Amino acid sequence: MFHTALTLQNAFMHSGTTSDQFLRDNLEWLGQASNWSKFSATAALGVINKGYFEKAMLILGPYLPSEGGQDSVVPGAEYSEGGALYALGLVNAGCGSGKGVEGTLRQILRAAQSEVVQHGAALGLGVAVMGGKNAEAYDDLKQTLFTDSAVAGEAAGFSMGLIMLGSADAGCAEEMLTYARETQHEKIIRGLAVGIGFIYYGKQEQANDMAALLLGEKVRAGPRRFTPFLILASGSIASIWRRLHSRSSLRRDIKQ
């Protein structure tokens, strides 16, 4: 946990600077990363190189998986590959819709066999195409969601919402809510809850009907799971608590 925290802190401090001096000076320490720490360490390169498209490809190229989707024979490589795909999206955050990076991430997402690689590709796609309302990218993520993999599905839920950021698209939101009711995976429910929040990001009054619906949900601790939606949609924590506490039948559930 400390390893991941320090890696991310360094990335935030050097966001968009392309300065990786800390990493170069601490290669031995960086090499101790394993599994999701390795994923985060690689993804952090995307924050450091945000906006520097050509340079980022030179840095991330060695870590990226093949577009054919074959699993690497190197132990733990799926975590660095998944992190590199997320990093690719972060470099192109909000600027990748209709560009080559979108096609690359979509192709890898469809072909990947590892759920960790799918997780990274899904996150990268969502961040790169953020707000682009690209129906084809959304459908690719939906197909990943429908595999019902907890790891890949959680990322798909986040990214489906990112692609439709601020659109208040009721059809997409209802589709995501329907799947949240059907799945048994807590991670997927969490991803979809945040994703629906992204769809209604900043919409406030337009989100009222969906908010009322979510507060009555019985989906595995329903209201608690969908509180992120309320935060993203309303932008006001005070109004969220007023809404929650106005429903006395839900108070016990919220406090648990």
DSSP of the chain: -HHHHHHHHHHHHTTTT---HHHHHTHHHHTT--HHHHHHHHHHHHHHTTT-HHHHHHHHGGGSPPTT-PPPSSTTHHHHHHHHHHHHHHHTTTT-TTSHHHHHHHHHHHH--SHHHHHHHHHHHHHHTTT---HHHHHHHHHHHTTT-HHHHHHHHHHHHHHTTT---HHHHHHHHHHHHH---HHHHHHHHHHHHHHTTT-GGGGHHHHHHHHT--SSSHHHHHHHHHHHHH--HHHHHHHHHT-GGGHHHHH-
Neighbour-count burial for 160-180, b at 16+ CB within 10 Å, e otherwise = bbbbbbbbbbeebbebbbebb
Tell me whether residue 170 is in a domain: no
Same domain, 139 and 180: no
Per residue in 12-50, pLDDT tens?
A: 999 999 998 998 899 898 888 889 999 999 999 999 999
Same domain, 114 and 225: no
The pLDDT value recorded for residue 99 is 85
Q: How far apart are CA 22 and CA 13, in angstroms?
A: 11
Inside any domain, residue 169: no
Separation between Cα atoms, residue 172 and residue 55, nearest integer Å:
36
* pTM assigned to the model: 0.86
- CA-wise closest residue to 83 among 13, 36, 151, 153: 36
Distance CA 89, CA 128 (A): 5
Based on the fold, state whether residues 223 and 155 are members of the same structural domain: no
* pLDDT tens-place string over residues 211-247: 777 776 655 544 456 666 666 665 554 555 555 555 5
The CATH number linked to 47 is 1.25.10.10
In this structure, are 27 and 153 located in the same domain?
Answer: yes
**Percentage of the residues of the chain whose pLDDT score is greater than 70:** 81
- By mean pLDDT, which of 89-98, 104-113, 140-149, 224-233 is the weakest? 224-233
Count the domains in the chain. Answer: 2
Give a yes or no: residue 188 inside a domain: yes
Please check whether residues 99 and 26 belong to one and the same domain.
yes
Domain that holds residue 50: 1-163
Residue 168 located in a structural domain = no
Closest alpha carbon to 49 in 82, 10, 81: 10
Same domain, 108 and 10: yes
To the nearest 10 degrees (0 to 180), the angle between helices 170-182 and 208-215 is 10
Establish if 216 belongs to a structural domain. Answer: yes
pLDDT score, position 248: 46
N-term to C-term CA, the chain: 26
Residue 92 lies in a domain: yes
The mean per-residue pLDDT over the stretch 76-101 comes to 92
Q: Quick one: tokens of 53?
A: 């498209």
